[in-house]
């Protein structure tokens, strides 16, 4: 079937994927008719999965019923501490069952969940807390140790709940004193969620995306943004069956190994929302390790994993792969970084699993295009076609002219998954969000069938294994060093991570600094994944064009 034929069949009136139009912030927009109205309803629906496992973390196994009781208990505790509609509550921890409980407790109250990057330094985390004006923070003990020295700077932070600490650190409460440990949740009282009216377009989340100005920007998302992904993901799966001439099977719960951090929209929105709706079991790892991942896949009969291309490569090439039964794998999906066409073919050949990819960004709350199964095998350099509720346009340099198929321009996207604004940044919002469209900064083209091909990034950004690194942020850190007078960050190719950051630096006359010294300098100020893996020193100031912009394409040759 053609894409149009599939859409006509699946989205027809009365069908599961029926589409209707709603006016969202003054713009008529296509939406999934049967998507839940808000995340509070999703929480109540997910409880129906009962004794099925919702999360697995090491030896902790939490059912959907137990998870629901913990969500309701924490929501009541947050309400008792004054958290209400529109209040910001930050979550800063590695992937844990408590992360899921905290997120859904917050949004069930109509409050705004602010997932912070657990890899950030204490100063970066303090910025996110101050910028979002979070009243309450839920953190694990390791993250709180980083934030604690900055507590005095955070006048608006009233309450801190710390998970997995032996005793409550000074000025905080233990999360376990409110809801117990994951093993206790099944025994919590059966209490209803606090009664809070929540509308589809109410604010729900602030996810931070690094900005080209050097400071992260908070993308303000709504309940509708997140629930849209439930149906977008399910539609892509049904489409793949029809494209190969088979009837889509009835939905059945899957087991997924989630190795991307939940503070990314890919994990939280594109994965966790669908898992709650479908009754999927989500397995967390303390940290990515390919050998341990294969043990988990075999033991738990994992159906789906992925995240970034690095993970797929490491599974394929691990010397001990033959020891494990990985036959339960049905799909290995990833996004957030460029991948080699060879990887697409190898996933299918080595595992018999179908590859998956797609395109989205923090500003689109993840899924806009989805590319899986045979479509991906046949077009391994594409990001796939848009889901039916999304629209894509390729526009010329004027930002107005819509270019025809095959021509390269800036990618613009529209749909119910596009976030509302940048948190309290009206100028950046006006520049990026225009009449329901988001201008992405990606240079791309569409083919005649509507498949998207990302050609280049217009923004000065490096994507290392799915983590965005904005060059200006690292360059500014280098410029703070007294010896550095010129600096530029470039991406150098890496087979599994996609690319890594590397820097070219010019030092002031009469000064000195070595590679390790500058790497330590950056590491003290920014998250470890942003530290340049190599630094080359230039005896001259860096080459620039007539407008004074550094010609980075000339610098990459220094790392060949």
- Reported as a single tens digit per residue, the pLDDT across 141-177 is 999 999 999 999 999 999 999 999 999 999 999 999 9
CB neighbourhood size of 212 (10 A): 15
> How far is the C-alpha of 305 from the C-alpha of 356, rounded, in Å?
10
For residue 156, the model assigns a pLDDT of 96
Residues 6+ apart with CB under 8 A from 267: 95, 258, 260, 261, 307
Residue 55 main-chain phi, psi, to 5 deg:
-140, 150
CA distances from 311 to 20, 145, 352 (A): 38, 29, 16
Judge contact between 243 and 451, C-beta under 8 A.
no
Lowest mean pLDDT among 31-40, 112-121, 419-428, 505-514: 505-514
Alpha helix stretches (DSSP H) within 285-340? 290-300, 309-317
Q: What is the pLDDT of residues 276-332, one digit of tens each?
A: 999 999 999 998 899 999 999 999 999 999 877 778 888 988 999 999 999 999 999
CA neighbor of 293 nearest in space, from 311, 280, 307, 309:
311
For residue 25, the model assigns a pLDDT of 95
Q: What is the mean pLDDT of residues 226-230?
A: 97
- In this predicted model, which residue has the larger pLDDT, 370 or 313? 370
Work out the pLDDT band at 547, boundaries 50, 70, 90: very low
pLDDT averaged over every residue in the chain:
93
The length of the chain is: 560
* Cut 0.75: pTM above it: yes
Domain layout of the chain by residue ranges: 63-220, 462-559
Q: What is the mean pLDDT of residues 105-120?
A: 97
Work out the pLDDT band at 334, boundaries 50, 70, 90: confident
For residue 545, the model assigns a pLDDT of 57
Percent of the chain scoring above 70 in pLDDT: 97
From 3.30.300.30, 3.40.190.10, 3.40.50.300, 3.90.550.10, which CATH number describes the 462-559 domain?
3.30.300.30
Q: Does domain 63-220 have CATH number 3.40.50.980?
A: yes
CA neighbor of 273 nearest in space, from 314, 310, 232:
232
Asked whether the domain spanning 462-559 has the same topology as the one spanning 63-220, the reply is no
pLDDT above 60 for 97:
yes
């Amino acid at each position: 079937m053609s894409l149009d034929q599939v859409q006509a069949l699946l989205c027809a009136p009365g069908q599961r994927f029926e589409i209707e139009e709603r006016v969202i912030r003054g713009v008529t927009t296509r939406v999934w008719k049967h998507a839940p109205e808000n995340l509070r309803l999703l929480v109540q629906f997910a409880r129906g999965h009962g004794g099925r496992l919702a999360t697995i973390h090491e030896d902790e196994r939490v059912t959907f019923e137990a998870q629901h009781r913990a969500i309701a208990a924490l929501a009541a505790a947050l309400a008792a501490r004054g958290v209400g509609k529109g209040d910001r509550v930050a979550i800063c921890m590695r992937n844990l069952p408590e992360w899921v409980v905290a997120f859904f407790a917050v949004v069930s109250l109509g409050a705004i969940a602010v997932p912070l990057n657990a890899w950030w330094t204490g100063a970066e985390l303090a910025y996110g807390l101050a910028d979002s004006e979070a009243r309450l923070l839920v953190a694990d003990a390791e993250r709180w140790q980083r934030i604690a020295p900055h507590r005095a700077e955070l006048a608006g932070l009233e309450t801190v709940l710390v998970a997995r600490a032996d005793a409550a650190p000074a000025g905080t409460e233990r999360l376990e004193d409110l809801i117990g440990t994951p093993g206790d949740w099944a025994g919590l009282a059966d209490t209803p969620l606090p009664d809070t009216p929540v509308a589809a377009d109410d604010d729900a989340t602030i996810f931070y995306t690094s900005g080209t100005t050097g400071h992260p920007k908070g993308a303000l998302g709504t309940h509708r943004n997140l629930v849209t992904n439930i149906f977008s993901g399910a539609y892509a799966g049904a489409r793949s069956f029809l494209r190969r001439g088979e009837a889509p099977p009835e939905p059945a719960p899957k087991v997924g190994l989630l190795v991307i951090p939940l503070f990314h929209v890919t994990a939280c929105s594109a994965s966790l929302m669908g898992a709650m709706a479908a009754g999927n079991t989500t397995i967390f790892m303390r940290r990515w390790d390919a050998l341990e991942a294969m043990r988990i896949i075999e033991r738990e009969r994992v159906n789906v994993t992925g995240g970034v291309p690095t993970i797929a490569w490491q599974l394929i090439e691990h010397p001990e792969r033959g020891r494990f039964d990985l036959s339960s794998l049905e799909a290995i999906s990833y996004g957030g970084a460029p991948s080699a066409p060879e990887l697409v073919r190898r996933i299918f050949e080595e595992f018999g699993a179908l590859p998956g990819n797609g395109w989205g960004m923090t500003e689109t709350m993840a899924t806009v295009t989805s590319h899986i199964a045979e479509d991906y095998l046949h077009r391994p350099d594409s990001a796939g076609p848009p889901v039916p509720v999304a629209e894509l346009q390729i526009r010329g340099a004027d930002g107005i002219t819509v270019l025809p198929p095959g021509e390269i321009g800036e990618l613009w996207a529209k749909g119910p998954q596009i976030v509302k604004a940048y948190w309290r940044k009206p100028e950046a919002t006006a520049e990026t969000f225009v009449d329901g469209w988001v201008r992405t900064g990606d240079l791309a083209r569409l083919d005649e069938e509507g498949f998207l091909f990302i050609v280049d990034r217009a923004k000065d950004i490096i994507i290392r294994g799915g983590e965005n690194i904005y060059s200006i942020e690292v360059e500014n850190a280098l410029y703070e060093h007294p010896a550095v007078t010129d600096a530029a960050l470039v991406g150098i190719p890496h087979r599994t991570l996609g690319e890594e950051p590397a820097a070219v630096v010019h030092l002031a006359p009469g000064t000195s600094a070595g590679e390790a010294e500058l790497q330590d300098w950056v590491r003290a100020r920014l998250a470890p994944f942003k530290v340049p893996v190599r630094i080359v020193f230039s005896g001259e100031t860096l080459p620039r064009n007539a407008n004074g912009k550094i010609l980075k394409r000339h610098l990459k040759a220094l790392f060949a």
